[in-house]
Every structure is written in C-alpha cells, then in structure tokens.
C-alpha cells in the first residue's frame, strides 16, 4: 500500500509515498517524507493501492510524527462525504479540516521569540535612526507603540532579522524567549451567569434534548437521535435552552460544539456562553477568523486534546476536532453565511447534521425563521420540531406597521423618500423619551450611484457589470464587487453634461439626512465601511448599550442576535429591495430579514414598534412578517417551491463558466451543456445556458446553467463525470456549486 501525502506549507503539494514495512501509518497521520533533497512534514490523505506498473520506484515515508492520526476517523468520513456530495477534491476538503496553521510545523513552538523596546530611548538617537536606518526605525517604532513595548519576532516580518540584530546591538531592544499559550481572549473580563428557571416550553425542549444525550459518556447512543429544529420567536430564550443543554452534555463528560453565523456579528451570544461557563475557565475556545496562526494552532490542539470542552465558532468550526462530542448547536441555522463560497462549497449546517449522525451525537438547529429546507425536514419527520412561541420575558411581540412608500413618494413630489412621515415622527418621539432606535437599510444593490441626468449614463466599474458606489468620507467611487476605486467625475464622461448626480441612497446618506432632521440626536453607523477599524463594532455596540448613542444606522450586519433592552423602535427603510434580485429565495430572505430585524425591538420592559417602509406592501413575505407568522409564510412559500420544483423539493446546483473572453465563456458552457444532455440521468433537469445576473466580475465574463434533481448524488456525479472528460480552454474557469445559495 502507499500513502498520498499533503505536504505542509503554503504551496499545498500532494505526492504519493511507499509505506515502509511495519510502520503503522493510517489516514490522517502526520508523517515526515523526503521531498527533493530535503525532508518535510505532511498529512496522510489516503492509503491506497499502488499503481499497477510504476515507472520509477516510489520514495518511502521517513517517519511517523505522531502515532495517533491528527484527523479523527469521523472527520475523515465527513471529509469523504463532502468531497463526494459537493464534487470537490478530497485534498481541498482536508485543507479546510486541518487549517494551514495546524499543518505548518513553524507554529508548533510552545515558546516564541519576542522583541522588547528598552525604556527611555533618547529622542535624539531615535531621530538619527529614522534618517540612517529607516527599516530599523520602523521596527522600533512598532515596538514602542505596542502593548508592553513588545511584539513576537514572527510578527515583524521574515526579513526583519538583520534589523533586529542591529537594534539589539545598539541596545534599543532586547530579544528574549517566552512560553506561550497564545490566548486570544486573555484581556476580556466576563461576569458569570446563573441558569434561569425555564418556562414550560423551554423546559419541554430542554427535556427532550437532554434525554437524547444518553445517560453516560460512553457508550454513545447506538442510533443517533434525529436532529432537533428549535423554532423560537426572537427573544423566546433559545439561548438559555442551548446553555442548559450544553451544561447537560458537559455533566456527562462530553464536549459541545456551537456554530454561529459570524463571530464578530454575534458578540452577545459568544459572551453569554462564556459567562455561563466561566467557572470552566479556559475550557471554552472561541475560533475567530482573526486568530493569528499561532493562536489557531494552540486552540486547535487544545480542542484535539479535550482541554477545551466547548468550542464556539463560525462555519469552519464545524471541523473542530472535539473528542467525545455530545452536542452540536447551530444557531441561526437559516443564515446563508454557513455556505462556503469557495471550494469546497459545503454548507456548515448540513455538514453539522451529517457529523452528528456519524459521531453519533445530538444536534440542535435553532432559528426564529428556519430555512425552508429544515422546515421541510420537520414535516417529513426527519427532524424533530421543538417550539418556543412566546418571548421568554412574557413581553409581547413588537407591533409592526407597514408604510407604503409609493404614497410617500407622491407626497414628496417624486423625490427619493428616505424617511416616511410616520417613521420621522416615531424617531422624534423616541428621542424625546430618551429611548433608542435602530434604522436598518437593506444594502443589497442599494447604494448611491452616479448617474447623468442628461444621457442617463451610470458610472460603472470597468471590471464588473455593476454601478460604482459613491463614498462620501473619502470622496470616491468604489466597486463593491472587486474594490476598484476611481475619482468622482465633475461632468458626465459620455456627454460632458455637468448634471451628473447621485441616485439612490446608502447608509452615509441616511446619516446625512437624519442629521438635518434631528440635529440633537447622537448617531452611529454600522456598515462594512465604518467597521474597517479594528474593534469599531465592539466600541459602537458598547456605546449603544450605555445609551451614548440614540440612533443606530446599519446594514444586514445588525440584523443578527443583538439584544438591547432600551430599543423601542426599529425602522426598516427599504424592506423590499431584496425582493427584486433574481433568486428564488428572495422572498424567504426578505421574510427572515424583517422578522430578525424586528426582533431587535422591545426586548426589555418597554414595548417595541417596528416600521417597515416598502414599495410592495402586499407581498407575502412582508405581510406574514408583519404578523410574526412563520407557519403561514412557510405554507404559501412551500406551495410556490413545490410548483416550480425549487428547494426543498429538489436540489439546485449552478454550473458557472468564467473567462476574460465573453464568447469563449459562453461557448465552453454550451459545449458542456451538450455533453451534460447526453445520457442525462432520469430525474435531473438541465437548464439553459444563460448569462449570470452579474455578467462581468473582476474582468471575467460569466455564464451559468442551473440544474435540479430530486437526489443530489446523481447530479454531482453526472456533472463531475462530464467535467473530467472535457478539456477546458486555458483561461476558462468552471465552478460547480451544489445546493447553491448565490445565483448572481
């Protein structure tokens, strides 16, 4: 037998090696192998039959680094499933499971070298250094301004060694070695919390979940319990159910995995877990996307060794190597950020369900607005439904008013109406009473673009088929797809008309308008621009919590689990924007968005009000959201999906071809279309070749085909078989996206 080995390091090479007799190499093991004149470490991806007749003798594995495989057998099984289901290479899946930080030996140092700037450096010396040795000065400057005047040498860049040496020789710095557990959260203070007394529905949910955990750490339940869908209205206390269920799993000696859509956007959920389990001290690991390589390495090994017994993380945390897993929680299971948009294009919720079945362990999917996929699974009894129908604090759901913006537009004589009279009055009232408000802007495709009033020309990105967005702070036009920037033209580039003006509005415009109408109010804006600064989000949320801000303006970013008791008004400025995108989930997303955003209102003693501004007041997603009626919404939406054979009644995949040459992209896809049509397995429907809604992006033209099938596997297999047989032109990229969520 021989072993296929993924070589450590950024170039991600894969080679085959012979296994020396008697060496207990299994899949997932870490090994040392010869590569060219050197040796390198790597991970065994697979054990396989050697090729029948090989032309050269295969080199042998040098040695085994750890006797235990680094990837657990269950995760290896999950990896194979993903490769198979989503049609991606096992290599790419293993790369996701074992982050690069873990595969690179450099990070394994439990000690590290640090550089510390000495105290009392003479400013005159410093000025001299700045003139003579810019690089040394730059490093010293960094150190002087760092906490404790200290930074890890590794963070100072690869080429810093000579400069450091000189600086040390001159006595400006000291180099030393320190022991590390690189604790990403070391500076945070957490107030412990006690379990609450559950209400009846919470208790019922908890009873079922905890019963499914079994009674002892081992043996695990022989048959995996079916997944639970916890459908609880916003504020119904789902988190409390998660917390107590997690406690129950820990009490049995098991471990717990908690998935959230995005760590940075769900700070309160993370904090509540930490607060509840603060007595476990460092047994809670939070997998942020901004962990350094070293921190990631340490956290990963803490988890693997069972030292961290609760892991909280976003999408890729689904691969956290927890031993003896007892419970997986997927919060906000409907969130599309669980779907990875790079290969392997897996959906973390679906992978979590699968992992739970393989472990086996209990899994709870929670949401106020479950995806229709999960909802359908409760109807077919694949999932078990648990409900929380009331807010936990016995407050009523907020009153939702829908404002017809067509009428407002007439009133305001055709001007783009940003605030209806009603919303404006409501804001003024809140301000007078010292209560807080959140204004929410659906950003998708709704930023300010520059359009000529003479000829209608719109400033477009030269690389993508989208209008450029105007950013006031730096007076620039920016492409939200590729980041291209350009200056704001004084006159129309087409017809030289100086009457080129801004169309539409974005968060910056809203802020501007509000400042005029409510000059005494204190505002803050949360959007991707405002958040570029590190900790900006944390700072703003803290200020909002301590009532130093009256009105928070934001995009989708603020729709998730935030909880502010003093917020009594939520305004949704353009609720229907998401409805006009070419995506069969548009209605579902609008429903989810309104419900989630509305859920931010009235979470304390005070009653909440929600004002939804829309141009399509009668659309079902808006009307059902107004009545907080998930069941009603789901029923009518499912009818539509059934009729048109969309998910959850079929799997839907998108095959996209990209190229810098428009004709070549289209032609390649047409060729693939023909081949897909031959021997098309029964039950698969093959769509036509169409330009993607975003026909050009990053200088690449895009065409796509949508495929649907009742069963996923035959679809993936058929497409993969065709792709394997087809040689693609050089500059053409093909992307296959199974269970696609992005149709642009």
Q: What is the dihedral of CA 728, 734, 739, 744, to 10 degrees?
A: -140
Tell me, rounded to whole angstroms, the distance of Cα 340 from its chain centroid: 8
The entry of ligand ADP, Zn ion, none that residue 240 binds, CB within 5 to 8 Å by partner kind = ligand ADP
The entry of ligand ADP, Zn ion, none that residue 196 binds, CB within 5 to 8 Å by partner kind = ligand ADP
Q: How far is the CB of 336 from ligand ADP (least distance, A)?
A: 19
The entry of Zn ion, ligand ADP, none that residue 480 binds, CB within 5 to 8 Å by partner kind = none
Tracing tokens 């078990």 back to the chain, one arrives at 384
CA–CA dist 580, 82 (Å, integer): 32
| Whether the Cβ atoms of residue 643 and residue 729 lie closer than 8 Å to each other | no
| Whether the Cβ atoms of residue 169 and residue 158 lie closer than 8 Å to each other | no
Is 628 near ligand ADP (CB under 6 A)? no
CA–CA dist 154, 174 (Å, integer): 15
CA–CA dist 199, 304 (Å, integer): 36
The entry of ligand ADP, Zn ion, none that residue 484 binds, CB within 5 to 8 Å by partner kind = Zn ion
x/- contact string, 375-414, with ligand ADP (CB under 6 A)? -----------------xx---------------------
Nearest to ligand ADP of 233, 285 (CB atom): 233
What tokens were used for 522?
């204190």
What tokens were used for 631?
């069941």
What tokens were used for 188?
């945070």
State the residue number with the nearest CB to ligand ADP.
Answer: 237
Q: How far is the CB of 606 from ligand ADP (least distance, A)?
A: 14
Nearest to ligand ADP of 344, 602 (CB atom): 602
Q: How far is the CB of 594 from ligand ADP (least distance, A)?
A: 16
CA–CA dist 1, 26 (Å, integer): 11
CA–CA dist 160, 142 (Å, integer): 12
Nearest to ligand ADP of 107, 568 (CB atom): 568
Task: List, in order, residues 6 or more apart from 258 with CB less than 8 Å away.
Answer: 242, 246, 273, 310, 311, 312, 313, 328, 329, 331
Q: In what order do the strands lie in the sheet with 173-179?
A: 150-152, 111-117, 173-179
Closest-CA residue to 393 (of 549, 603, 544, 233): 603
Is 374 near ligand ADP (CB under 6 A)? no
Nearest to ligand ADP of 202, 590 (CB atom): 202
x/- contact string, 506-545, with ligand ADP (CB under 6 A)? ----------------------------------------
Nearest to Zn ion of 484, 710 (CB atom): 484
Q: How far is the CB of 744 from Zn ion (least distance, A)?
A: 13
Tracing tokens 């693997």 back to the chain, one arrives at 304
Region 429-488 residues binding Zn ion, contact defined as CB under 5 A:
461, 463-464, 479, 481-482, 484
The entry of ligand ADP, Zn ion, none that residue 234 binds, CB within 5 to 8 Å by partner kind = ligand ADP
Task: List, in order, residues 6 or more apart from 278 with CB less than 8 Å away.
Answer: 190, 191, 192, 193
- In order, the DSSP letters of 115-127 are EEEPSS--HHHHH
Nearest to ligand ADP of 197, 487 (CB atom): 197
Residues in a beta bridge with 211: none
Q: How far is the CB of 598 from Zn ion (least distance, A)?
A: 34
| Whether the Cβ atoms of residue 317 and residue 99 lie closer than 8 Å to each other | no
The entry of Zn ion, ligand ADP, none that residue 198 binds, CB within 5 to 8 Å by partner kind = ligand ADP
What tokens were used for 448?
């300010």
Region 543-572 residues binding ligand ADP, contact defined as CB under 6 A:
563
Q: How far is the CB of 599 from ligand ADP (least distance, A)?
A: 7
Q: How far is the CB of 574 from ligand ADP (least distance, A)?
A: 25
Nearest to Zn ion of 465, 521 (CB atom): 465
Q: How far is the CB of 162 from ligand ADP (least distance, A)?
A: 54
How far from each other are the two terminal CA atoms of the chain, in whole angstroms?
45
Nearest to ligand ADP of 85, 242 (CB atom): 242
Nearest to ligand ADP of 238, 339 (CB atom): 238
Element (H, E) at 695: strand 690-697
Q: How far is the CB of 625 from ligand ADP (least distance, A)?
A: 16
Q: How far is the CB of 617 from ligand ADP (least distance, A)?
A: 27
| Whether the Cβ atoms of residue 242 and residue 258 lie closer than 8 Å to each other | yes
Q: How far is the CB of 185 from ligand ADP (least distance, A)?
A: 22
Q: Single out the residue of 134, 161, 196, 528 in contact with ligand ADP (rule: CB under 6 A).
A: 196
- In order, the DSSP letters of 596-650 are HHHTTSS-SSS--EEEEEES-TT-HHHHHHHTT-HHHHHHHHHHHHHHHT-TTSS
DSSP 727: P
The SS3 of residue 503 is strand
- In order, the DSSP letters of 228-274 are EEEEE-TTS-HHHHHHHHHHHHHHTT-EEEEE-S-TTT-HHHHHHHH
The entry of Zn ion, ligand ADP, none that residue 232 binds, CB within 5 to 8 Å by partner kind = ligand ADP
Nearest to ligand ADP of 13, 196 (CB atom): 196
The entry of Zn ion, ligand ADP, none that residue 154 binds, CB within 5 to 8 Å by partner kind = none
Question: Residues touching ligand ADP: how many (CB under 6 A)?
Answer: 16
Nearest to Zn ion of 205, 461 (CB atom): 461
Pick the stretch among 198-206, 282-290, 338-346, 475-483 that binds ligand ADP (CB under 6 A).
Answer: 198-206
CA–CA dist 427, 545 (Å, integer): 18
CA–CA dist 21, 29 (Å, integer): 16
Nearest to ligand ADP of 353, 392 (CB atom): 392
Nearest to Zn ion of 31, 461 (CB atom): 461
Angle at 624 between CA 608 and CA 598, to 5 degrees: 25
Peptide bond into 219 cis (omega under 30): yes
| Whether the Cβ atoms of residue 711 and residue 623 lie closer than 8 Å to each other | no
The entry of Zn ion, ligand ADP, none that residue 337 binds, CB within 5 to 8 Å by partner kind = none
Tracing tokens 């901004």 back to the chain, one arrives at 290
Q: How far is the CB of 343 from Zn ion (least distance, A)?
A: 22
The entry of Zn ion, ligand ADP, none that residue 482 binds, CB within 5 to 8 Å by partner kind = Zn ion
Nearest to ligand ADP of 256, 419 (CB atom): 256
Q: How far is the CB of 327 from ligand ADP (least distance, A)?
A: 17
What tokens were used for 737?
């996206």
Q: Tally Cβ neighbours within 10 Å of residue 602.
A: 26
CA–CA dist 565, 547 (Å, integer): 11
Peptide bond into 344 cis (omega under 30): yes
The entry of ligand ADP, Zn ion, none that residue 463 binds, CB within 5 to 8 Å by partner kind = Zn ion
Region 223-282 residues binding ligand ADP, contact defined as CB under 6 A:
232, 234-240
Q: How far is the CB of 268 from ligand ADP (least distance, A)?
A: 8
Residues in a beta bridge with 5: 15, 44
The entry of Zn ion, ligand ADP, none that residue 32 binds, CB within 5 to 8 Å by partner kind = none
| Whether the Cβ atoms of residue 625 and residue 578 lie closer than 8 Å to each other | no
Pick the stretch among 107-115, 158-166, 192-200, 588-596 that binds ligand ADP (CB under 6 A).
Answer: 192-200
The entry of ligand ADP, Zn ion, none that residue 481 binds, CB within 5 to 8 Å by partner kind = Zn ion
The SS3 of residue 663 is helix
The entry of Zn ion, ligand ADP, none that residue 392 binds, CB within 5 to 8 Å by partner kind = ligand ADP
Which spans of this chain sit near Zn ion (rule: CB under 5 A)? 461, 463-464, 479, 481-482, 484
Which spans of this chain sit near ligand ADP (rule: CB under 6 A)? 196-199, 202, 232, 234-240, 392-393, 563
């Amino acid at each position: 037998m021989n072993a296929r080995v993924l070589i450590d390091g950024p170039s991600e090479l894969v080679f085959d090696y012979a296994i020396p007799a008697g060496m207990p190499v299994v899949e997932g093991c870490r090994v040392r192998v010869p590569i060219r004149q050197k040796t390198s470490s790597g991970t065994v991806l697979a054990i396989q039959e050697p090729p029948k007749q090989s032309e050269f003798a295969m080199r042998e594995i040098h040695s085994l680094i750890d006797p235990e495989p680094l990837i657990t057998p269950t995760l290896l099984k999950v990896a194979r499933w993903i490769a198979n289901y989503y049609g991606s290479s096992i290599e790419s899946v293993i790369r996701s499971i074992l982050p690069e930080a873990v595969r690179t030996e450099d990070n394994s140092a439990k000690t590290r070298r640090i550089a510390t700037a000495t105290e009392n450096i003479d400013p005159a010396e410093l000025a001299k250094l700045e003139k003579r040795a810019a690089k040394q000065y730059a490093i010293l400057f960094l150190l002087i301004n760092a906490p404790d005047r200290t930074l890890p040498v590794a963070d100072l860049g690869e080429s810093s060694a000579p400069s450091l040496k000189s600086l040390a020789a001159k006595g400006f710095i000291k180099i030393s070695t320190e022991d590390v557990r690189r604790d990403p959260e070391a500076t945070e203070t957490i107030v412990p919390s006690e379990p609450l007394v559950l209400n009846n529905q919470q208790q019922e949910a908890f009873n079922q979940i905890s019963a499914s955990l079994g009674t002892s750490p081992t043996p695990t339940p022989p048959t995996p319990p079916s997944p639970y869908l916890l459908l609880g209205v916003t504020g119904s206390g789902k988190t409390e159910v998660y917390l107590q269920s997690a406690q129950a799993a820990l009490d049995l000696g098991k471990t717990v995995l908690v998935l959230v859509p995005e760590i940075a956007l769900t700070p309160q959920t993370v904090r509540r877990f930490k607060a509840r389990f603060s007595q476990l001290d460092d047994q809670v690991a939070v997998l942020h996307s901004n962990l350094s390589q070293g921190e990631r390495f340490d956290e990963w090994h803490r988890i693997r060794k069972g030292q961290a017994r609760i892991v909280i993380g976003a999408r890729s945390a689904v691969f956290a190597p927890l031993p003896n897993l007892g419970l997986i929680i997927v919060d906000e299971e409907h969130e599309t950020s669980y779907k990875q948009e790079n290969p392997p294009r897996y959906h973390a919720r679906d992978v979590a369900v699968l992992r739970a079945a393989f472990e086996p362990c209990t899994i709870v999917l929670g949401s106020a607005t479950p995806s229709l996929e999960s909802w359908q699974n409760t109807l077919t009894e694949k999932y078990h439904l648990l409900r929380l129908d009331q807010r936990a604090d016995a407050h009523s759901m907020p009153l939702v008013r829908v404002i017809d913006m067509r009428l407002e537009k007439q009133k305001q004589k055709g001007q783009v109406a940003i605030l209806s009279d009603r919303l404006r009055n409501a804001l003024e009232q809140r301000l007078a009473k010292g209560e807080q408000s959140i204004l929410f802007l659906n950003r998708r495709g709704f930023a300010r673009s520059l359009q000529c009033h003479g000829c209608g020309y719109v400033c477009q990105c030269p690389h993508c088929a989208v209008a450029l967005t105007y950013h006031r702070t730096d007076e620039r036009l920016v492409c939200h797809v590729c980041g291209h920037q350009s200056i704001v033209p004084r006159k129309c580039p087409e017809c030289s008309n100086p009457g080129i003006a801004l169309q539409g509005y974005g968060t910056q415009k809203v802020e501007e308008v509000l400042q005029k109408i409510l000059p005494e109010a204190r505002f803050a804006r949360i959007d991707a621009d405002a958040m570029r600064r590190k900790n900006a989000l944390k700072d703003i949320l803290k200020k909002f919590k301590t009532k130093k801000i009256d009105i928070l303006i934001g995009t989708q970013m603020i729709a998730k689990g935030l909880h502010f008791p003093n917020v009594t008004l939520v305004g949704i400025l353009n609720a229907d924007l998401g409805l006009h995108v070419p995506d069969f989930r548009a209605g579902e997303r609008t429903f989810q968005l309104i419900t989630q955003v509305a859920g931010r209102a009235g979470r304390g003693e005070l009653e909440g009000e929600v004002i939804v501004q829309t141009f399509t007041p009668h659309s079902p997603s808006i009307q059902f959201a107004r009545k907080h009626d998930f069941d009603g919404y789901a029923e009518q939406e499912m009818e539509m999906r059934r009729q048109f054979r969309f998910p959850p009644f079929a799997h839907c995949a998108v095959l996209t071809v990209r190229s810098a040459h428009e004709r070549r992209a289209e032609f390649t896809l047409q060729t693939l279309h023909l081949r897909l049509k031959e021997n098309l397995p029964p039950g698969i429907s093959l769509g036509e070749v169409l330009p993607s809604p975003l026909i050009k992006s990053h200088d690449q033209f895009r065409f796509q085909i949508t495929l649907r099938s009742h069963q996923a596997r035959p679809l993936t297999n058929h497409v993969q078989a065709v792709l394997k047989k087809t040689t693609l032109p050089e500059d053409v990229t093909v992307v296959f996206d199974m269970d696609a969520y992005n149709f642009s």
